[in-house]
C-alpha cells in the first residue's frame, strides 16, 4: 500500500544551480518503516543568462589610451563565468591599428559587468576611419553553458591629417614672355583617398584674360597612395599682350575648397602666393631700392671710382657699403639729399683683372635710394656713369650690347649675390677665359658664389654675347677706350652701362638730340629671333644677339622706337671729333615711355663745365 507525498517547489529567477531536498519518515502509527529517508533534486531552470557587449556601436580616436566596451550580464551569477572574446577586423588591422587586451575574460561570481578593452595604436599615417567587430564566442560557468550571442562594432577614428602646400616653381617675378607659370600642389603625407582641390587664381593689378588665363574654378586631384610629398602640377598661362603694361602686375594663387577634407588640415586660402608678372621691367618707374650689388669699372685709377647715393626716402636712411673684407663704410643719407663714396685704392682692380675675383660691392640701405657708379677718368680720357639697379631688378638672361662702333678692349663684368650661381657665357668672339680658348659662340661655364664676380675682356667686340645664370646676376658692359663712331682713337674714353635682363627690357622708347650736340648713334640689340623694330620709318628685323646701329646727324626731331618683342636700345653721344662740339662720348640706356612720370630724382656731378637735361613730354598729338 502506497501514499503520495507532494513536494511543492518555488519558481524564481535566480541562477543558483540544482538543489537537493531531503525527505525522511520520522514516525508511523503502525509497524516499522523499511525506508526512513529519501532525497529529491530540484533542477534550476535558470541555467542560462543573457550576456551582452555594450554599446553595440562605439567610436573613439586612435589617440585614446584605451577604448572600453562593457561585457554585461542580465543578472548576477553565483559563480565565475569564462567568456571567449573574438574579433573580426573589417577595415582595421590587428597589431597595426589595434590590439585587444582580453581574448578570454572572466566575469566573477556576484558581478554584473566587466570592461573589455580595445587598445588603439596611434600611428602617424593618414587613414580612413577603421572598423572592427568584437563578439562573444562562448561562455561557460562550471558545467553550465551560458547563452552568449552579442556583437559590438568599434570604429577607430584616425587623428592624422596631411597639410597641403602650394609651391611656385617658376621665377617670381616672371616675364610675360615666359608663356606660363608652373606651380605644384603637394600633400605632406600619403593620402588614403583621392583629394580634389580647387585652386583660386585672383587678379590684383593683373587681369584675367588679358595678363593671365586659367580655367574657370580649376580643380586638381592628388591621387591616393602616391606616398609622402606627392604633388600635382598646376599651370597659369601668362599672356603676352604686346601692350606696355605696368612694370609689375600681380595675381594671387591660393588653395580653395578641398574635397575629402577629413584627411586634410588647414583652412582653404591659407596656402597662397602673390605672383608677379613683369612687362618690360626697365619700364618700372622705380629704380630705387634698398639692396644693390655691383663690380667696379675695369682697371683704372681707384681714386677715380665713386658711388653716388641719392635718397628717395621720406626719412633719413642709413647706408652700408661693403667690399669683401677690404672696405666697410656706414653713413646717413638725409631725406632728399645725396652722399658720395670714393672707393679707396685697396679695392681697385689690378691693371689686368683676373677672370674671377671677390671685389664685389654690396650696398644695403634702411630706406629706398638711387645708386650710381662713376669712373671719372680713364688713362687720359674721360669716364662714364651708370645707374645701378636694385637687386630685385636683376635677372637670369642678358645680351651684351657693348659698343656702336670700333673700340679697344670691350668688357663685361658680372657679379652674384647668391652661392652656387652657375653662369653660362656664349661669347660672340674668340676668347680666353679661365685658361681655355673658346671659339665664337662656344659656351664658357663658371660657378660664382655669393659676392663673387667674373671679368671678361677682349680686343674684339663682345656685343651679341649671351649670358645665362641659375640665379639673378649683375651685368655691366662697356668699352675701355672708345671714340664714337669713328676709328680715331686720339681720345680714349670709357663708356659703360649696367644691363637689364633681356626679357625685361622695353618695346617702346623715344630718342632725340642731346643739347649742344649734333650727332648720336642708336644701337639696337635683339633678344628674341624675328623681332621687328620700327625707327624713323624704317623696319628692321633682328634675331637674338643681332645688332643694328643707326647714325643720326643734325636731326633735331624726337623719334619713336617700337618693337614687337623686347630689345635693348642704347643711345651713344658721338665724340667731339664728329660734330666738333665740346664733349666726349657717352653711353645711355634709353628710358621707355612707361618710365615717364611726374617726379624724377637724379644727380648732377659737381664737376665739368656744363650739365644738360633732356626732357621728353608725351603730347596728345605725339611726342614733342
pLDDT classification of 208: cutoffs 50, 70, 90: confident
Q: Would you state the pLDDT for residue 431? A: 79
Per-residue pLDDT of 516-537, as tens digits, reads 777 788 888 888 889 899 998 8
Residue 244 has pLDDT above 60, yes or no: no
Per-residue pLDDT of 506-517, as tens digits, reads 667 778 777 777
pLDDT classification of 113: cutoffs 50, 70, 90: confident
Q: What's the CA gap between 403 and 411, in Å, rounded?
A: 10
pLDDT classification of 580: cutoffs 50, 70, 90: low
Our separate counts of H helices and E strands in the chain read: 1, 48
Q: Would you state the pLDDT for residue 456? A: 84
Let me know: does 144 contact 138? Beta carbons within 8 Å: no
Q: What's the CA gap between 473 and 453, in Å, rounded?
A: 10
Q: Would you state the pLDDT for residue 75? A: 73
Residue 18 has pLDDT above 60, yes or no: yes
Checking DSSP bridges between strand 327-333 and strand 317-323, what pairing results, if any?
antiparallel
Q: Would you state the pLDDT for residue 143? A: 43
C-alpha triplet 490, 496, 500: angle, nearest 5°: 155
Range of 184-188, 281-285, 401-405 with top mean pLDDT: 184-188
Cα distances (Å, whole numbers) of residue 323 to 274, 297, 416, 544: 34, 14, 13, 35
Residue 281 has pLDDT above 80, yes or no: no
Q: Would you state the pLDDT for residue 123? A: 80
Q: Which three cell numbers stand for residue 381?
A: 680720357
Range of 262-266, 360-364, 599-603 with top mean pLDDT: 360-364
Q: What's the CA gap between 448 and 467, in Å, rounded?
A: 13
Residue 26 has pLDDT above 80, yes or no: no
Residue 447 has pLDDT above 90, yes or no: yes
Q: Give the distance, in angstroms, between the CA of residue 129 and the centroid of all CA atoms in the same chain.
A: 34
Work out the average pLDDT over 490-496: 69
Mean pLDDT for the chain overall: 77
Q: Would you state the pLDDT for residue 1? A: 61
H or E segment and range at residue 577: helix 576-579
Residue 278 has pLDDT above 60, yes or no: yes
**Dihedral-angle region of residue 303 (phi above 0 means left; psi in -120 to 50 means alpha; beta otherwise):** alpha
Percent of the chain whose predicted confidence (pLDDT) is above 90: 7
Select the more confidently predicted residue: 345 or 94: 94
Q: Is 131 helix (H, G, I), strand (E, B) or coil?
A: strand
Rounded to a whole number, what is the largest CA-CA distance in the chain? 173
Percent of the chain whose predicted confidence (pLDDT) is above 70: 72
Q: What's the CA gap between 23 and 30, in Å, rounded?
A: 19
Select the more confidently predicted residue: 194 or 15: 194
Work out the average pLDDT over 138-151: 61
Cα distances (Å, whole numbers) of residue 421 to 73, 285, 442, 470, 483: 77, 29, 19, 5, 35
Q: What's the CA gap between 555 and 381, in Å, rounded?
A: 27
Of 146-155, 413-422, 466-475, 514-523, the poorest mean pLDDT is in 146-155
Q: Would you state the pLDDT for residue 280? A: 46
Residue 444 has pLDDT above 50, yes or no: yes
Per-residue pLDDT of 534-550, as tens digits, reads 998 899 999 888 888 88
pLDDT classification of 283: cutoffs 50, 70, 90: very low
The domains located in the chain, with CATH, are 164-279 (2.60.40.2030), 289-623 (no CATH)
* SS3 labels along 294-341: EECCCCCCHHHEEEEEEECCCCCEEEEEEECCCEEEEEEECCCCEEEE
Backbone angles phi, psi at 595, to 5 degrees: -80, -10
pLDDT classification of 419: cutoffs 50, 70, 90: very high
Checking DSSP bridges between strand 174-175 and strand 272-278, what pairing results, if any?
parallel
Cα dihedral 372→373→378→381 (10° resolution): -10
Q: What's the CA gap between 130 and 359, in Å, rounded?
A: 64
Residue 269 has pLDDT above 70, yes or no: no
Residue 606 has pLDDT above 70, yes or no: no
pLDDT classification of 414: cutoffs 50, 70, 90: very high
Q: Is 79 helix (H, G, I), strand (E, B) or coil?
A: coil
Q: Would you state the pLDDT for residue 597? A: 55
pLDDT classification of 17: cutoffs 50, 70, 90: low
Residue 7 has pLDDT above 80, yes or no: no
Q: Would you state the pLDDT for residue 478? A: 83
Residue 370 has pLDDT above 60, yes or no: yes
Residue 358 has pLDDT above 60, yes or no: yes
Let me know: does 287 contact 498? Beta carbons within 8 Å: no
What are the b/e assignments for 110-129, b being 16+ CB within 10 Å?
eeeebebebebeeeeebbee
* Residue 575 DSSP one-character state: P
The sign of the dihedral angle between the CA atoms of 174, 180, 184, 185 is: positive
pLDDT classification of 72: cutoffs 50, 70, 90: confident
Select the more confidently predicted residue: 532 or 92: 532
DSSP line for 510-535: EE-PPTT--EEEEEEEESSSSEEEEE
Select the more confidently predicted residue: 564 or 46: 564
Work out the average pLDDT over 283-307: 70
Let me know: does 164 contact 271? Beta carbons within 8 Å: yes
Work out the average pLDDT over 443-458: 89
Of 150-164, 230-244, 400-414, the poorest mean pLDDT is in 400-414
Q: What's the CA gap between 319 and 294, in Å, rounded?
A: 15
pLDDT classification of 593: cutoffs 50, 70, 90: low
Residue 623 has pLDDT above 50, yes or no: no
Q: What's the CA gap between 371 and 249, in Å, rounded?
A: 25
With 0-12 / 13-18 / 19 or more C-beta atoms within 10 angstroms meaning exposed / middle / buried, residue 27 is exposed
Q: Would you state the pLDDT for residue 539? A: 93
Amino acid at each position: 500500500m502506497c501514499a503520495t507525498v507532494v513536494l511543492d517547489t518555488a519558481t524564481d529567477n535566480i541562477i543558483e544551480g540544482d538543489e537537493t531536498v531531503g525527505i525522511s519518515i520520522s514516525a508511523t502509527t503502525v509497524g516499522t518503516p523499511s525506508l526512513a529517508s529519501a532525497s529529491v533534486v530540484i533542477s534550476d531552470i535558470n541555467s542560462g543568462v543573457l550576456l551582452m557587449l555594450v554599446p553595440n556601436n562605439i567610436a573613439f580616436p586612435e589617440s585614446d589610451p584605451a577604448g572600453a566596451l562593457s561585457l554585461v550580464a542580465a543578472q548576477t551569477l553565483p559563480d565565475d563565468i569564462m567568456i571567449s572574446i573574438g574579433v573580426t577586423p573589417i577595415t582595421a588591422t590587428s597589431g597595426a591599428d589595434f590590439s585587444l587586451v582580453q581574448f578570454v575574460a572572466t566575469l566573477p561570481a556576484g558581478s554584473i559587468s566587466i570592461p573589455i578593452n580595445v587598445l588603439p595604436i596611434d600611428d602617424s599615417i593618414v587613414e580612413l576611419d577603421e572598423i572592427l567587430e568584437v563578439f562573444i564566442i562562448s561562455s561557460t560557468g562550471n558545467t553550465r553553458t551560458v547563452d552568449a550571442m552579442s556583437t559590438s562594432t568599434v570604429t577607430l577614428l584616425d587623428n592624422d591629417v596631411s597639410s597641403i602646400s602650394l609651391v611656385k616653381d617658376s621665377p617670381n617675378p616672371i616675364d610675360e614672355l615666359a608663356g606660363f607659370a608652373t606651380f605644384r600642389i603637394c600633400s605632406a603625407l600619403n593620402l588614403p583617398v583621392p583629394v580634389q582641390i580647387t585652386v583660386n587664381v585672383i587678379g590684383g593689378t593683373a587681369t584675367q584674360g588679358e595678363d593671365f588665363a586659367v580655367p574657370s574654378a580649376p580643380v586638381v586631384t592628388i591621387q591616393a597612395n602616391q606616398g609622402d610629398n606627392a604633388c600635382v602640377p598646376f599651370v597659369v598661362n601668362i599672356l603676352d599682350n604686346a601692350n606696355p603694361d605696368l612694370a609689375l602686375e600681380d595675381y594671387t594663387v591660393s588653395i580653395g575648397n578641398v574635397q575629402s577634407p577629413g584627411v586634410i588640415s588647414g583652412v582653404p586660402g591659407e596656402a597662397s602666393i602673390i605672383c608677379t608678372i613683369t612687362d618690360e621691367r626697365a619700364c618700372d618707374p622705380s629704380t630705387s631700392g634698398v639692396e644693390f650689388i655691383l663690380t667696379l669699372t675695369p682697371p683704372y685709377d681707384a681714386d677715380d671710382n665713386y658711388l653716388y647715393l641719392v635718397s628717395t626716402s621720406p626719412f633719413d636712411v642709413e647706408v652700408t657699403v661693403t667690399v669683401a673684407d677690404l672696405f666697410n663704410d656706414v653713413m646717413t643719407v638725409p631725406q632728399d639729399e645725396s652722399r658720395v663714396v670714393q672707393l679707396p685704392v685697396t679695392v681697385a682692380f689690378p691693371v689686368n683683372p683676373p677672370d674671377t675675383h671677390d671685389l664685389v660691392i654690396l650696398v644695403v640701405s634702411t630706406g629706398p635710394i638711387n645708386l650710381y657708379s662713376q669712373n671719372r677718368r680713364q688713362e687720359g680720357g674721360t669716364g662714364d656713369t651708370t645707374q645701378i639697379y636694385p637687386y630685385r631688378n636683376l635677372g637670369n638672361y642678358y645680351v651684351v650690347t657693348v659698343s656702336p662702333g670700333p673700340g679697344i678692349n670691350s668688357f663685361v663684368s658680372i657679379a652674384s649675390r647668391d652661392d652656387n650661381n652657375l653662369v653660362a657665357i656664349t661669347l660672340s668672339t674668340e676668347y680666353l677665359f679661365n685658361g681655355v680658348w673658346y671659339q665664337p659662340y662656344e659656351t664658357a661655364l663658371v660657378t660664382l658664389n655669393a659676392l663673387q664676380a667674373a671679368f671678361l675682356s677682349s680686343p674684339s667686340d663682345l656685343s651679341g654675347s649671351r649670358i645665362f645664370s641659375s640665379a639673378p646676376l649683375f651685368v655691366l658692359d662697356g668699352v675701355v677706350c672708345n671714340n664714337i663712331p669713328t676709328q680715331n682713337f686720339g681720345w680714349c674714353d670709357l663708356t659703360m652701362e649696367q644691363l637689364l635682363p633681356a626679357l625685361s627690357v622695353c618695346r617702346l622708347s623715344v630718342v632725340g638730340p642731346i643739347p649742344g650736340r649734333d650727332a648720336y648713334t642708336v644701337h639696337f640689340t635683339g633678344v628674341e629671333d624675328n623681332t621687328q623694330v620700327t625707327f624713323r620709318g624704317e623696319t628692321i628685323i633682328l634675331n637674338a644677339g643681332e645688332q643694328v646701329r643707326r647714325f643720326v646727324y643734325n636731326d633735331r626731331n624726337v623719334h619713336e622706337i617700337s618693337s614687337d618683342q623686347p630689345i635693348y636700345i642704347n643711345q651713344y653721344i658721338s665724340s667731339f671729333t664728329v660734330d666738333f662740339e665740346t664733349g666726349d662720348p657717352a653711353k645711355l640706356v634709353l628710358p621707355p615711355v612707361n618710365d615717364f612720370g611726374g617726379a624724377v630724382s637724379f644727380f648732377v656731378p659737381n664737376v665739368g663745365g656744363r650739365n644738360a637735361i633732356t626732357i621728353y613730354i608725351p603730347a596728345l598729338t605725339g611726342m614733342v
